[in-house]
Amino acid sequence: MGKHKEEHACAHGHKHEHECCGKHEHGHGHEHECCGKHEHGHGHDHDCCHDGEHADGSGREHDCCCHEHEEGHVCQAPKRAEEFRALERDLWTRSYLLKIAEFDGSTVAPENSASARGEAMATLAGEHHELLTSERAQKLVRKLNKAYAKGKLDDAQLADELRVFERDQREALAFPKEEVESWSRLTCEADAVWHKAEGANDWDSFEPYIDRMVEALKRQAGYLDSQRDPYDVWLDQYERGMDAAAYDAFFAQVRETVVPLVRDIAERGEQPRADFLNAHVSEAAQRALSFDLMKLVGLDMASTTLAFTEHPFSEGFSTGDARVATHIYEDNAMSNVYSIIHEAGHAIYELGVNPAYARTCLEGGTSMGIHESQSRFFENTVGRSRAFMGPLLELLRRHAPEVYGNVGEDELYRAVNIARPNLIRCDADELTYPLHIMIRYEIERMLFAGEATAKDVPGLWAEKTKRYLGLDVPTHTEGALQDTHWSGGAFGYFPSYALGSAYDAQYVPAMQAAGVGLEAACAAGDLAPVRAWLGENIWRWGRGKDALELVQGACGAPFDATFYCDYLAGKFRDLYQL
């Protein structure tokens, strides 16, 4: 319930980064699919494993995997496995249709389509919840668990599917119906108020919703795990295995590295000439450039498409279908360039999931942090590297020769890596970006700890922005109203953004140790070796492994923020000759 999708459109047609609809941009929602009736349509099976009804009428759940039977009896475990896979396909089908509706609403749907789309999406979401949480689905999970316990099944992939499905089901079942309905009303109302408040610089109208949502999320956290701190519960929902103690340690390292470095650059660093970044590049030229950038990253163009929207986003529909949406500014071509590369990183991750996971609960990315590590790996580690400037400049000259014909590779490298604090997170450079996340994390921490309420947020925002970025906050629109995440109740989400960048810094030495020449691949404009390593170590696992397990397996060591801090310090001290 507290989880919400990244950069996606709700049924009301608003295009923004988070939604009141309760699904995640990349499919990591706690109710993992939406569904309806079982595809075979029978009420129960006519065998020894009736829906919990023992042959003697006692009502005890009877499973052939748990009792001896007369000679010639056929074990029903394989049939149960087939039924489970059919259930997963039903869930996937509803999810696929929901994503189609959401993508359409964010890109090409007319304004007056919102009401009908909302009705259709509500029906699909309701069917999903019913099927995922039905007594029949619960019994099927129990019977399959018994079959594995008795050694009647040994399919390793099915065991992973069952584990992930059971977790999705358990979390979906945790919330009473009235809580789900109340939360939906609250977040949709808050979302509508935020849209008006953000444009009007009106914190007062949005303020009450912060307190109401925090209170609701504290209550909801108790349904999931009454023994844990509520904020820890939500941090774990967005990134399994993470809690406030782990994030406190992570941000302490980031703070120690980045804050003095930003100060040093402001005091002693010389900013490069970069007027060409704001030169006019036509929409037509940028559209053509976008497709070439997607190909350069390595997207299979038969498995993707490009749409246009207010805020760039991507969506994975299936193992053979992931889509990118961008926004073009004719006086800021680089915004589109790096949006395309970033979203292509998300999309190629979705397309790289093991095809055997198609239409199961293992399909899709495992967490927001891992997803962000893929997008930022291509955007920053590859796309802003010195080695990549040759292939990138070749495309820029092809599509905008009047702007980039006389720009050199070193000049472009310095320009796309300018580190200069600004107030807006979405416009932040690679170095200062984690400071924006830290501001939000620290305020959320205080709200959940009871150390602050909504009325304190603007003041806290101003104080922390001044401390970390050295900037004053002149308006609420440029401060605490700038992000839509809180309007959807997505508290605990922000930290995963910074964590994603930190993950990808740790991938680099692991790649090099495996013989992948990252710099050579970037310079050649042939990222096949990079994609091969990511595919083997990250993408193929889908939801089968949680984030920290993936990092451990890929890098041969637990997550360590030192790699990220060393990367930032080394890169930007060199760029600014500090």
Instruction: Write down the pLDDT at residue 56.
Output: 40
Distances in whole angstroms, Cα of residue 29 to Cα of each of 1, 403, 409, 544: 9, 43, 42, 15
7 is catalytic: no
CA 367 to chain centre: 6
**Residues 233-261: b if buried by 16+ CB within 10 A, e if exposed:** bbbbbbbbebbbebbeebbeebbebbbeb
Backbone region of residue 353 per phi and psi (left: phi > 0; alpha: psi in -120 to 50; beta: other values): beta
DSSP label of 550: H
**pTM value?**
0.87
Cα 166 to Cα 180: distance, rounded to the nearest angstrom? 19
Instruction: Write down the pLDDT at residue 214.
Output: 98
Nearest 5°: CA angle at 247, between 244 and 249?
110
Cα 503 to Cα 437: distance, rounded to the nearest angstrom? 15
Instruction: Write down the pLDDT at residue 65.
Output: 54
Calculate the dihedral angle through the C-alpha atoms of 501, 24, 155, 303, rounding to the nearest 10 degrees: -80
Nearest to 175, CA basis, from 124, 132, 122:
132
Q: Tell me, what amino acid is at 121? A: M
Report how far apart the first and last C-alpha atoms of the chain are (Å, whole number). 47
User: Which residues, including other chains, have CB under 8 Å from residue 82's CB and lie 6 or more apart?
Assistant: none
Cα 471 to Cα 114: distance, rounded to the nearest angstrom? 39
Q: Tell me, what amino acid is at 444? A: E
Instruction: Write down the pLDDT at residue 177.
Output: 83
CA dihedral sign, ordered 343, 346, 352, 356: negative
Cα 242 to Cα 366: distance, rounded to the nearest angstrom? 14
> Element (H or E) spanning 324, and its range?
strand 321-326
Question: Tokens 């109302």 map to which residue?
Answer: 189
Q: Are 182 and 216 in contact (CB under 8 A)?
A: yes
From the DSSP assignment, how many helices (H) and strands (E) are in the chain?
A: 21, 5
Nearest to 37, CA basis, from 159, 139, 123:
123
> Element (H or E) spanning 306, and its range?
strand 306-308
CA 345 to chain centre: 12
Instruction: Write down the pLDDT at residue 258.
Output: 98
Instruction: Write down the pLDDT at residue 536.
Output: 98
Question: Tokens 């036509």 map to which residue?
Answer: 282
Cα 574 to Cα 570: distance, rounded to the nearest angstrom? 6
Q: 324 - beta bridge partners?
A: 306, 314
Mean pLDDT by 10 residues, the chain (578 residues): 39 34 36 35 39 42 51 78 97 95 90 87 90 96 96 95 97 90 89 92 98 97 97 97 98 98 96 95 98 97 94 92 96 96 98 97 97 97 98 98 97 97 95 98 98 98 97 98 94 97 97 98 98 98 97 97 98 97
Q: Tell me, what amino acid is at 175? A: F
454 — phi, psi (to 5°)? Answer: -60, -35
Instruction: Write down the pLDDT at residue 72.
Output: 57
- Which of 7, 171, 315, 343 does the annotation list as catalytic? 343
Cα 250 to Cα 559: distance, rounded to the nearest angstrom? 10
